Amino acid sequence: MPDLPPLTLIPFIDVIGTFVFAISGTQTAIDKKLDPFGASVIAFATALGGGTMRDLLLNLRPVWIQEELLLVTVFVAVMVTLFFRKQIGRFRRTLFLFDTMGIALFTVLGMEKALRLDVPPLIALVMGVVSAVFGGVVRDILCNEIPLIFRREVYATACLAGGASYLFMRLAPVPVGVPVWIAVGIIILIRLLAVRLKWAFPTLTPKE
Amino acid sequence: MPDLPPLTLIPFIDVIGTFVFAISGTQTAIDKKLDPFGASVIAFATALGGGTMRDLLLNLRPVWIQEELLLVTVFVAVMVTLFFRKQIGRFRRTLFLFDTMGIALFTVLGMEKALRLDVPPLIALVMGVVSAVFGGVVRDILCNEIPLIFRREVYATACLAGGASYLFMRLAPVPVGVPVWIAVGIIILIRLLAVRLKWAFPTLTPKE
Amino acid sequence: MPDLPPLTLIPFIDVIGTFVFAISGTQTAIDKKLDPFGASVIAFATALGGGTMRDLLLNLRPVWIQEELLLVTVFVAVMVTLFFRKQIGRFRRTLFLFDTMGIALFTVLGMEKALRLDVPPLIALVMGVVSAVFGGVVRDILCNEIPLIFRREVYATACLAGGASYLFMRLAPVPVGVPVWIAVGIIILIRLLAVRLKWAFPTLTPKE
């Protein structure tokens, strides 16, 4: 079982991803006119919901239960977003980029975690996508919306495509670590293209 | 601890039930005008949500995490439903029958699974009903509806009645296996009668 | 690891809290015009949802899976509420008091449970709050509302404040047991004051 080489980077990645997702959750809560406590819960669910669902399904205790760093990260992100509400608006493009990187990394890390527990490849792919997108689903459920991802976002598909490529590359005799970054790159690329070129699946209609 | 005799049938039953539930989930997604990805998630949640919740509560890893067959079944059901949308509409009656059989079998299998883990009988009954109906609850939450089951469906009650009969029969010295089929029959019968005779609990009203 | 002294009281407390929360869940279901089955599910989710979520996160089997008492308690509470609908309306003030006590006790018991599993203090605080308030969140999601707690209730904050005080006191060399009751008192006090003095966090607004 190959070691993920950027192992030393992983906590860092987790923290960055958590931070960015928590900002996006807080922004949604502000849009919904919740109070600061509600904003914290939404931020928490957005940032840690995906990994939590993955770990519950794998019958593990979620990572944030073991160490306080991720919880503190969410809290800091909420504070920053509340205090610098207007300024953060100007960084939407940067945030979008971080968010895309977060989703890409969470997909691959989630898959790798599942594969190391001897979960079959196809299920590991689902675990990766769940890690990346389930937080956003919980956020939308808590805010009483049909999850955005079911309606117009291509990004779950980007995660699926990148994740599938990772499965294939892992079979090949390429140096360990390369597949991680290629898969991450594919996910980022598809999502950026999808947004720029306005890709979207056609909506299903009953009488088509 | 008696062995469930139709043990060789169980994977088959699981697959049929999963297939039918996934079709129903996909149809709901089409009615809600989701995209194909959203339809897949709804189908997945409808088909596997009940068993997943049961297994999480029993502190087990859900079955579909261990083997890919159920996931593939959901995927095939989604494809079939999307491509044969109109034709499937004509089979509503057949699908309803399969759905009823699925619910009945999931109830009994879910109970048996819990009983074998030494869960107390009453809780095992709840686990059976959760296996059968929770997928539909998740489907409705994801589609931003008050779950249908809370409003007009008698079928959870059918599951409760059949499940309770199963608990009693399991105490009796009847040949192993007989209780399974009687309980399944009771659930199917109650649901069919309920639909045909339009049984429904009265809605609760605050000032009754 | 200090023993919680009121250990003999804990089952009693659990049952009282479960009973009161189940009444509140049933009342919500009546307001939403659900049927008796729906009311039972909402009551169940309200009463046991918090502890269930806490136990799932801690990778334990929820308490109500092991023993039937709590399930029976919910059932009795639903029956009582349905049959004495009008009379119970008159006890709203008493119910509110019990509810407040339930939340306070669930917070401290939930924290203590987590701390004994060597969960870090800050996470244990979250586990305590989750035990106390998550049932209400599930109730509101099932009823298709934005959870009340995200909008105007101060009580999650009361749980946080009382829970934090408990963490500090547990470090101090005070007799075991004292911290439990002080923390419970703080939570009750804050919530009562909040309701009486109409404390509420300001709602967040996008352009503040």
C207 — pLDDT class (breaks 50, 70, 90): low
Residue with more model confidence, C35 or A91: C35
Q: What Cα–Cα distance (Å) separates residue C152 from each residue in B136, B205, C96, C173?
A: 31, 26, 16, 37
C17 contacts: CB under 8 Å, gap ≥ 6? C47, C101, C102, C105, C106
Lowest pLDDT segment from A58-67, B145-154, C60-69 = B145-154
- Looking at residue B180, its amino acid is V
Contact B204 C52 (CB under 8 A): no
Residue A90 lies in a domain: yes
Q: Is residue B89 part of a domain?
A: yes
Asked if the structure places residue A104 within a domain, the reply is yes
* Nearest CB to C57 within list A62, A72, A142: A62
**Cβ of A200 under 8 Å from any chain B Cβ?**
yes
Give me the pLDDT at residue B147, please. Answer: 75
Determine the residue of chain C that is closest to A44 in CA distance: C126
Q: Which of C160, C53, C165, C61 is nearest to C103 (CA)?
A: C160
Phi, psi of B74 (to 5 degrees): -60, -45
CB of B105 closer than 8 Å to CB of B13:
yes
The segment with the largest mean pLDDT, out of A3-7, B191-195, C131-135, C172-176, is: C131-135
Q: Which residues contact C93 (CB under 8 A, 6 or more apart)?
A: none
* Chain segment C96-109, per-residue pLDDT in tens: 887 888 889 899 98
Q: Residue C3: pLDDT above 60?
A: no
Q: At residue B208, does pLDDT exceed 50?
A: no
Q: Look-up: residue for tokens 């040949």?
A: B175
Give me the residue from B119, B149, B204 closest to C36, CB to CB: B204
Mean pLDDT for chain A? 84
Task: Please name the residue of chain B whose CA is at the shortest distance from the CA of residue A148.
Answer: B38
* Residue A75: closest C-alpha in chain C: C122
Most C-contacting residue of B111, B118, B141, B150 (CB-CB within 10 A), to test interface: B150
pLDDT > 70? residue A11 = no
| pLDDT band, residue B173 (cuts 50/70/90) | confident
Instruction: Tell me the pLDDT tens digit for each residue of C159-198.
Output: 999 999 999 998 877 776 788 889 999 999 998 888 888 7
Arithmetic mean of pLDDT, C198-206: 72
* Distance, CA of C106 to CA of A132 (rounded, Å): 32
Name chain B contacts of C45, Cβ cutoff 8 Å: none
Q: Is residue B207 part of a domain?
A: no
Q: C185: domain range?
A: 5-196
What element of type H or E holds C3? none
Tokens 């999502």 belong to A191
- Which residues, 6 or more positions from C184, have their beta carbon under 8 angstroms from its beta carbon? C101, C104, C105, C107, C108, C162
Residue C201 maps to a domain:
no
Selected residue of A117, A153, A204 to mutate for chain B interface (largest B Cβ count, 10 A): A204
Answer with the residue of higher pLDDT: A76 or A103: A76
Which is more confident, A5 or C196?
A: C196
In this prediction the pTM is 0.85
Averaged pLDDT, B10-24: 83
Q: Is residue A205 part of a domain?
A: no
Q: What is the mean pLDDT of residues B11-16?
A: 78
pLDDT score recorded for residue B153: 63
Query: Shortest Cα distance from C6 to chain A (angstroms)?
Result: 27
Whether residue A60 lies within 8 A of chain C, CB to CB, comes out as: yes
Burial level of B30, CB count in 10 A (0-12/13-18/19+)? buried
The mean pLDDT of B141-168, rounded to a whole number, is 81
Asked whether the beta carbons of residue A122 and residue B41 sit closer than 8 angstroms, the reply is: no
Tell me whether residue A85 is in a domain. Answer: yes
Q: pLDDT exceeding 70 applies to what percent of chain B?
A: 90
Which among A33, A64, A141 has CB closest to C141? Answer: A141
Number of domains forming the structure of chain A: 1
| Residue B206 pLDDT greater than 70, yes or no | no
Across chain C, mean pLDDT equals: 84
Contact list in C for residue A35 (CB cut-off 8 A) is 150-152, 200-204
**Helix/strand/coil for B171:** helix
In a domain, B144, yes or no: yes
Please report the number of interchain residue pairs, chain B to chain C, with beta-carbon separation below 8 angstroms. 77
Query: Any CB–CB contact under 8 A between C117 and chain B?
Result: no
- Residue-wise pLDDT for A123-176, tens only, equals 999 999 999 989 988 888 888 777 766 666 677 888 999 999 999 998 877 776
